[in-house]
Amino acid sequence: MILKQVDSVLYVDTDILFLRPAEDVWSFLSRFNGSHVAAMAPEHEEPRIGWYNRFARHPYYGKTGVNSGVMLMNMTRIRHKHFK
């Protein structure tokens, strides 16, 4: 419902520090297939120290959950799917 003229967005939390160009993340859009709407990284690489698998009482994705602090989103596809 917002950003109707924008095709894609890279959402980043304010506490994120890029050690490489942000364009490196942006380039993942070219890897999206026709069904991909967003990309996020795992919360942790090591399940033994991940927060979700040790403490969460709610469902989460994968073995360690995902980090929503950096999200690459195809807004055109999200709007088409009518996510709210």
The first and second tokens of residue 48, run together, are: 């033994």
The first and second tokens of residue 75, run together, are: 């807004």
Considering only residues 8 and 67, tell me which one the structure prediction assigns the higher pLDDT. Answer: 8
If one counts every other C-beta atom within 10 angstroms of the C-beta of residue 77, the result is: 17
65: left (phi over 0), alpha (psi -120 to 50) or beta: left
In tens, the pLDDT along 45-84 reads 888 888 888 888 888 888 888 888 999 999 999 888 866 6
pLDDT value, residue 83? 63
